[in-house]
Structure 1
Amino acid sequence: MEIRGVLFDVNGTLIDIETDDWGEETLGPLKYFLRYYGVRLGRQELRSRLEAGVRHHLGIIPQPFPELDWTLIWRDVLAQAGVFDHGILSGDDTGPAERRYQISLDLARMHRSLARRRLRAFPKTHEMLDDLSRRYPLAIVTDGQWAFAREELTETGLIGYFRHVTVSGDMGLRKPDTRIFHDALHAIGVDASNAVYVGNDPYRDVHGAQASGMRAILVGDKSLPNWATSGRRPDYHIRHIHEVPNALQALASR
């Protein structure tokens, strides 16, 4: 195999992340922040409205693997509470519309920042990417929110290694939809037959990449599924992200 490009998943592959979207430490500060806009909701009621928003938006996105937009979910919570019915946030003019957009974006980012418990690159990730970026064009294909996915890559010092970043939130669809993989391949000008995808999820990453025509490297200690019925399994399996160069060398020799 002639390898001309390498694509990566992010969370659980390059970045070691832990979040808690619904705990008191997360929703508690948000419920108090909302009171400045006249919204008085307890944590459970706020969670119920957010979860209802998730179900609603998943139901109206015409994709087999839909991706949410948390700015729209927060916008709906505010709208249902009547926040946009009066004051500087009301009306159809450009000014109020921009302010409604900004507060919804701010709440999505605040929610994410409060939910974070850990966010860091896995050991030796920078060294591995520095090596590979000198030899191949690199790209990201990640299931994430446009409101903060690139900012988290920047925060962990990873974004500079990549020529292109495809975020599911930009497209309204998630892996394993093949279109999200082909978007990144097109951006870096590499044919799928000459590309390798690296991820930690056997279905979304391995199945999605292989269905797109790429080879797939599975990272981590997750037990490998039984692919006997479908004939699909990772083209290579490694335990740690810094082993990717050796895996690529092995695939290139096949």
Structure 2
Amino acid sequence: MIEAVVFDFDGTLVDFVDSDIKSLKHLHSFAEANVSFDEFLETAVDEIMEFHRLVDQRLIDPLLMHRFRLEKTFKRHGMKWDDSALKIYKAELLRTCVPFDGVVDVLVQLRERFKLGLITNAYDGEEQRKRIAFSGLHIYFDEILISGDIGVYKPDPKVFHTLLSRINVAPENAIYIGDSIKYDVAGANSAGMKSVLFSKSSKTLSSEAHFHAHGVEGLETLARELCELA
């Protein structure tokens, strides 16, 4: 019997990629760049991937993510760097953190029948809490866990077990919804939970996931079915 529904945040409830691109474009417009935004964006993507690789190898402090990425991007294009660029980007990242249309209705419906949890793999707990609060979604969750706060990241089952212990629900009585096969589906499965693979627009499928939700419409259907079963 399902007692709790647990969500991923970025890519599942809010569109981080869209928010990031808008924030980078906003920064680019302030920076008097001699490079096109497309080139600027391509470099920024390369640098964030390099940063994650360094974090995985424990060669860099995860909290340096934005500074590392933006400063390296600026310098690769001969742009003058100072900390004001970091402030501009982070402020816009907050402003553009909005839920997918229809997500609030899904959470309201589920909250009537189930405990709700949120697990996000963000490095910087303070910053991520601000983003979650700015999205307005924090009020719907019984428990929010940010991996950077405990130093353990999805797909490690310890992350899932930590949240479930806080809301006093056994893994077999919980379902997890996320957009990553590697981090969300595999992690939830290893923790003994039911897993749902969410895809914003494409109909991504995985034999590892117990269920699939294509777009917010898929979440609405899943929520309705779960409530009916409850």
- Determine if the TM-score, normalized by the shorter chain, exceeds 0.5: yes
Q: What's 2:188 paired with?
A: 209
Q: Following the alignment from structure 2 to structure 1, what is the Cα–Cα distance between the partners of residues 136 and 175? A: 22
Q: How many residues align?
A: 204
The one of 211, 223, 227 equivalent to 1:245 is: 223
Q: CA deviation at 1:70?
A: 2.4
- TM-score, with length taken from structure 1: 0.64
Q: Following the alignment from structure 1 to structure 2, what is the Cα–Cα distance between the partners of residues 151 and 50? A: 21
The one of 53, 60, 80 equivalent to 2:58 is: 60
The answer to whether the aligner puts 1:131 opposite 2:109 as a matched pair is yes
Q: Which letter maps to 1:147?
A: E
Contact 2:174 2:193 in 1 (8 A): yes
- CA distance change for structure 1 residues 243 and 11 in 2, over 3 Å: closer, same or farther? farther
- TM-score, with length taken from structure 2: 0.70
Q: Following the alignment from structure 1 to structure 2, what is the Cα–Cα distance between the partners of residues 198 and 118? A: 22
Q: CA deviation at 1:50?
A: 8.2
Q: What's 1:26 paired with?
A: 27
Q: Following the alignment from structure 1 to structure 2, what is the Cα–Cα distance between the partners of residues 51 and 245? A: 34
* CA deviation profile, 1:18-46 (whole Å, cap 9, x unmatched): 11399574368589xxxxxxxxxxx9xx9
Q: Following the alignment from structure 1 to structure 2, what is the Cα–Cα distance between the partners of residues 189 and 246? A: 24
Contact 1:140 1:165 in 2 (8 A): yes
Q: What's 1:163 paired with?
A: 142
Give the CA RMSD over aligned residues: 3.8
The answer to whether the aligner puts 1:224 opposite 2:224 as a matched pair is no
The answer to whether the aligner puts 1:235 opposite 2:210 as a matched pair is yes
Provide structure 1 residue ranges, at least 5 long, that are not aligned to the other structure: 32-42, 62-66, 79-103
Percent identical pairs in the alignment equals 24
Q: Which letter maps to 2:27?
A: T
Q: Which letter maps to 2:205?
A: L
* CA deviation profile, 1:171-230 (whole Å, cap 9, x unmatched): 2332111111111111111000100111122221111101100001222234214x4xxx
- CA distance change for structure 1 residues 73 and 26 in 2, over 3 Å: closer, same or farther? closer
- CA distance change for structure 1 residues 109 and 138 in 2, over 3 Å: closer, same or farther? farther
Task: Determine helix, strand or coil for the equivalent of 1:147.
Answer: helix
Provide structure 2 residue ranges, at least 5 long, that are not aligned to the other structure: 33-39, 72-82
Contact 1:71 1:107 in 2 (8 A): no
Q: What's 2:158 paired with?
A: 179
Q: What's 1:91 paired with?
A: none
